[in-house]
Amino acid sequence: MPQASRRALLKAGMAAGLGAWLVSRPQDAVSALHADASAGQEPRVPLIHVTDLFHPHGDPDDHFDLASVYALAMQGRFDLRGIVIDGPPEFRAGDPAVVAVAQMNHLAGLTVPVAIGTSKTMAGRADALPDASWRDTAAIRFIIECLRASERPVALTCVGSAADIVIAALREPALFRDKCAGVYLNSGSAHDNPARPAQLEFNVALDPAAYAAMFDLPCPLTWFPCWHVTEVRESGESGSFYWLPHRDALAGISDAAANFFAYMFGKSTEPKWLRAMNSPPPADAWEKILSGRRGMWSTASLLAATGLTVTRDGDIVPSAEAGDSAVFRLKQVEVTCADDGQTTWQDRALPSPSAAGGASKRWMLSVCDVTRYPVAMTRAVRTLFKTLE
């Protein structure tokens, strides 16, 4: 396709559905959500989802996250503007899972575009990759053009590499200040592991400079540390991780949704990926999938990006209405990150989010009930996946 045609197609995709916007800063988002609901309007957050989604998969949680994003879009919560998939590191067995996005687009009746992220790592937190090729900056330019074209500020959820977002912000800081509603970052650890204090969380270790630069962004940032304590695989007060039993989340979902997961878990090479979604997956293979469990990290950030939380009973509700029943909330913090990816944070008390300017708007996950968190989040995911009919 000629370059001009590709640009026209990109602009058309980004311009589609420029609808109602919800400012997705944690407290502002909640009030706007409540106001829109009372007016009988369906709030939609313009969103770009940045992910390390591969086929064969690196970790199946990325497919669970993608399905959750599309479920929220189908519920009218997100106006999904694009999916950015990381450029694959050499150690990955698979390439960007564009088929997974196509499957979700088909299931949801959407036409969400995909951009492939840069293969470069940043030399330092201020490195905007000025010498990178046109091909290697496609996702960076996609993010910039999406923000520029949008009538409303756009939220970004980041469950993979931070590089494309921060390089876009380094190239266009004023645009991010004015047109980025907030970045929801799933990466890092709240506390170092005493046994291995220098160990970094997986995504941080891939590009420490990019992760560090996230905390320099001129827009609101909400941080969801993957680990309460680095690589300790249990839920904690400041970590997003939880165990999800497959059966509790996947049993009874639609044939199309079941085949989306079966295609991924089976590392399928079947070229008829679309027609396979019209019938149930093989019973034996599906039962094997249902008997497993999955580590999950990003559910809270995806819900928070649209002003939602989860109750201790697993109900998805607006944050403003949850009160003491919320299993997680967001708290204001002061956080800094060294060039090597090591973060330092403390609680911050401000009258309101609007009282602080620009880069001082920082929030962090706080799990209110560590014991109930895994069960509640699993039930919330099940509710989302029931949307995928």
Say yes or no to pLDDT of 278 above 60: yes
- In sequence order, what are the beta bridge partners of 318? 308
Please give the pLDDT value at position 298. 98
Please give the pLDDT value at position 348. 85
Say yes or no to pLDDT of 323 above 50: yes
Contact 214, 252 (CB under 8 A): no
Least confident of 2-6, 139-143, 240-244: 2-6
Higher pLDDT, 61 or 276: 61
Please give the pLDDT value at position 360. 63
Nearest residue to 54 (alpha-carbon basis) of 91, 100, 102: 100
φ/ψ of residue 38, rounded to 5? -70, -25
The mean pLDDT value for 228-255 works out to 97
- Confidence bin at 276 (pLDDT 50/70/90): confident
Residue by residue, DSSP assigns 9-61 as HHHHHHHTT-------SHHHHHHHHHHHHHTT----EEEEEEE--EES-S-TH
Say yes or no to pLDDT of 53 above 50: yes
- pLDDT tens track for 111-127: 999 999 999 999 999 99
- pLDDT tens track for 54-111: 999 989 999 999 999 999 999 999 999 999 999 998 899 999 999 999 999 999 999 9
Which amino acid would we find at residue 327?
Answer: V
- Confidence bin at 17 (pLDDT 50/70/90): very low
Mean pLDDT of the chain: 89
The mean pLDDT value for 180-193 works out to 97
Please give the pLDDT value at position 23. 30
Please give the pLDDT value at position 279. 87
Contact 148, 179 (CB under 8 A): yes
Residues 6 or more apart whose CB falls under 8 angstroms from that of 371 comprise: none
* Residue positions counted in the chain: 389
- pTM greater than 0.85 (yes/no): yes
The mean pLDDT value for 156-179 works out to 98
Please give the pLDDT value at position 47. 98
Select the highest-mean-pLDDT range: 33-47, 267-281, 367-381.
367-381
Higher pLDDT, 5 or 276: 276
- Confidence bin at 43 (pLDDT 50/70/90): low
Say yes or no to pLDDT of 211 above 60: yes
